[in-house]
Amino acid sequence: MEDAIFSLKGLHTTPHHSTPLALAAPASFPLSSGKPANQFLALLPTMAATSSSTDSAMHDQNSLKTRVCIIGSGPAAHTAAIYAAKAELKPILFEGTMAEDVSPGQLTISSNIAPGGQLSTASHVEDFPGFPEGIPGVELTDRLRTQSTRFGTQIFTEKVIYVDFSVNPFKVFTASRTVLADSVIVATGAVMKKPNVPGSGKGQSGFWNRGVSAYAVRDGAAPMFRDKPLAVIGGGDSAMEAADFLSKYGSKVYIIHRRDAFRASKIMQSRVLNNPKIEVMRNTVVRHAYGDAVGETRVLAGLELQNVVSEEISDLKVSGLFFAIGQEPATEFLEGQLELDADGYILTKPGTTLTSVRGVFAAGFVQDRKYRQAVTAACTGCMAAFDVVQYLQEMEAEQEKSRLFSIQPKEPRRLRKRWRGN
């Protein structure tokens, strides 16, 4: 039955060129200064200089065409890819890059969307159906990737830095190539929030990636953290999981929470509170992070803390500080292209994955601020693939109807009488 639903026989493979109807198709893009998209736009004149015209650039070897382009690499993205590939749409998927900063020429990309998404940073996934003993997050994402490629998904380990949804086909840009897509599924998920703690930023004045991180599972086993005191900021499940994971490597783990009560589930709280290597510091905030010099590189050495009730100042010697205060949708590159809510989540039509632009769909955490589970992300990925198929069929029907109406009927021939001579 599923194969029958996904039958696309009769669909043409050439991209349509009519402008899609949009609920909110912006004529201009009010992008904020300093955003990756703005930097990309500033770089366009340089990029254009490498080709004689826009048309020739479109036919460049780094320009691709596809029926559907998927942006993301978590359960939503790969589930969408699996179903789209089964529908013989030959999807192209951009899974992001591991590097946090990529600088092609003068372009700096700051959004941290890595292959596997948030699921790959989970030490152990215990609630995904089909794995009664649980499964490491990295292994689950690897399996999803293998399955989507088996059906024919073309995957690029590249980060999408800009999109143009005002034209048709839609344009999706990375630092290496341009994709012209009849439809797009955005499944970029979420990235970890980073609190504004003095001394935790990048550059010489901060210790980001030199003792400060937002990814405990990815970075916690690094040699610089082994057998050292570590700290986690947060009070939810992600903070509990981070602390529990770090306790395997650090000599001591401190959970720093600004409130008296945790938001985490009871089972996660119990696991942490019964761990002898974990100490909880409630009603406490970090005033700033400071460091020591080790050779030519300064690394994190400690934190200045303050109790929000007594206002007492204290010092905590740690070699690692991990943020676990929640997530925010990875939609920075979409600003001005799709309708977002106040927190950056993509707005979709209830019960569907349709966005404010016809032909663009959203799945997973990027549009889900309520459930935010791996299994619900996978469900919306499936929905997005079905919605894409329906959209492409509608576009084919509209184009065929337009083609038929554009054919001008010929004037009927006038029958001439044949005169026969006597």
Domain ranges of the chain: 2-191+328-404, 195-325
Given a contact cutoff of 8 angstroms between Cβ atoms, the answer to whether 331 and 35 are in contact is no
The pairing of strands 313-317 and 297-307 is antiparallel
> Which residues are registered as beta bridge partners of 328?
191
Which secondary structure element, helix H or strand E, spans residue 376, and what is its range? helix 374-406
Angle at 115 between CA 354 and CA 213, to 5 degrees: 110
Q: Which of 51-60, 136-145, 218-227, 349-358 has the lowest mean pLDDT?
A: 51-60
Alpha carbon distance 102, 97 (integer Å): 9
Mean pLDDT of 136-144: 92
Over residues 118-125, mean pLDDT:
77
- Per-residue pLDDT at 245 exceeds 80: yes
Q: Rg (Cα) of the chain, in Å, rounded?
A: 26
pLDDT digits (tens, 9 = 90+) for 69-83: 999 999 999 999 999
Token pair, residue 31, equals 């992008």
Determine phi and psi for 201, rounding to 5 degrees. Answer: -85, -170
Residue with tokens 């009769």: 10
Question: Does 56 have pLDDT greater than 50?
Answer: no
Please indicate whether the domains covering 2-191+328-404 and 195-325 agree at the CATH topology level. yes
- Spatial distance between the Cα atoms of 353 and 382, rounded to a whole number of angstroms: 10
* Helix, strand or coil, per DSSP, at residue 409: coil
Indicate if the pLDDT at residue 262 is higher than 70: yes
% pLDDT > 90, the chain: 62
Could you give the count of Cα atoms lying within 13 Å of 361 in the half-sphere of its Cβ?
32
Res. 358 pLDDT band, cuts 50 70 90: very high
Q: Residue holding tokens 């949009």?
A: 22
Tokens of 394: 């509608």
Closest CA to 173 of 112, 109, 82: 109
Q: How far is it between the farthest Cα atoms of the chain?
A: 127
- For 377, the token pair is 């992300």
Going by pLDDT thresholds of 50, 70 and 90, the confidence category of residue 22 is very low
Task: pLDDT band for 18, please (50, 70, 90 cuts).
Answer: very low
Measured distance CA(142)–CA(148) in Å, rounded:
10
Please give the CATH architecture assigned to the domain spanning 2-191+328-404.
Answer: 3-Layer(bba) Sandwich (3.50)
- The answer to whether the CB of 262 falls within 8 A of the CB of 285 is no
Rounded Cα–Cα distance for residues 184 and 186 (Å): 6
Is this model's pTM higher than 0.85 or not?
A: no
pLDDT value of position 20: 35
> Does residue 410 carry a pLDDT above 80?
no
Residue length of the chain: 422
* pLDDT greater than 50 at residue 28: no
Strands 178-186 and 360-362: parallel
At 150-199, the pLDDT tens digits run 999 999 999 999 999 999 999 999 999 999 999 999 999 988 888 889 99
The top-level CATH class assigned to 195-325 is alpha beta
